[in-house]
Amino acid sequence: MFDTLPRIEQPRPDVTYGLWKQDISASLRTILSACYCELAKDIYLPFFIVEVKTQDAVAGEAENQCIRGGASLVNTVHQWNRVAANRKHFKDMTAKEKQDERKQFADAAEKARQDHGTLRSSADPTSIALSLALSPPTATMHVHWREEWENGVEDWHAHTVATYALRIDVEPFEQLNMHMSNIMDWGCTTHRMEIQKQAKVIGKRKWPAINEDDVYFESNKRHKSA
């Protein structure tokens, strides 16, 4: 059943929700594709994945896959944010630039160990992604995000926000359905509009020939965009 659904290549969640190709203008697709945002076929900047296990499978395996997949989603939007902030995407950096950045992070991490307790950090709200580990008895919802310390060190988080006991009664199913609906609404409205604003900035800087008015999403079709 899951073979026909869009999947991220590596890792490969069973179901991927994101911004659907047919809702994206040609100019916007040009910008998103150049920034490596198509993680699954026809799905750009995914924000929610689902890992499904059968009755006899180990539920913990789905949760581990969610952690890996969620980190991939966070990294994708983080790289997109880098480009929007006029920095290079990691895939576009030269070997020396990557080496210099890794050294910078290593030096910052060493300084962090020395200055432990005096540094401040801030969560990056634009890096949020969600995942669901689903098995017959239970489902577990996770939120993933990136945290950056003032010296440049990054922490990547995965936190369980809800567990649904699907064998008890109908209420957990209703709650799960409500939460997934809320995620779709956020991903296809607030999140999507932020991506559009960033794309206009990137397009103006890197593709001056692209008309800003041509960088847009089609009218919201949540059942398709997700």
Count of domains for the chain: 1
Q: Pairing state of beta strands 121-134 and 43-52? A: parallel
pLDDT tens digits along 203-226:
999 999 999 999 999 875 554 444
Neighbouring CB atoms inside 10 A of 170's CB total: 8
Domain range enclosing 184: 2-225
Tell the residue number behind the tokens 């920095």, with chain if given: 87
Using the predicted structure, report yes or no on whether residue 59 has a pLDDT greater than 80: no
Q: Say which amino acid occupies 223.
A: H
Question: How confident is the model at residue 224, as a pLDDT?
Answer: 44
Task: Give residue 117's pLDDT band: very low, low, confident or very high (50, 70, 90).
Answer: low
User: In 3-state terms, what secondary structure has residue 20?
Assistant: strand
Q: Pairing state of beta strands 154-165 and 38-40? A: unpaired
162 bridge partner residues: 141
User: In 3-state terms, what secondary structure has residue 41?
Assistant: coil
Using the predicted structure, report yes or no on whether residue 184 has a pLDDT greater than 80: yes
Written in H, E and C, the secondary structure of 123-179 is EEEEEEEEEEEECCCEEEEEEEEEEEECCCCEEEEEEEEEEEECCCCHHHHHHHHHH
pLDDT tens digits along 130-161:
999 998 888 999 999 998 877 667 788 999 99
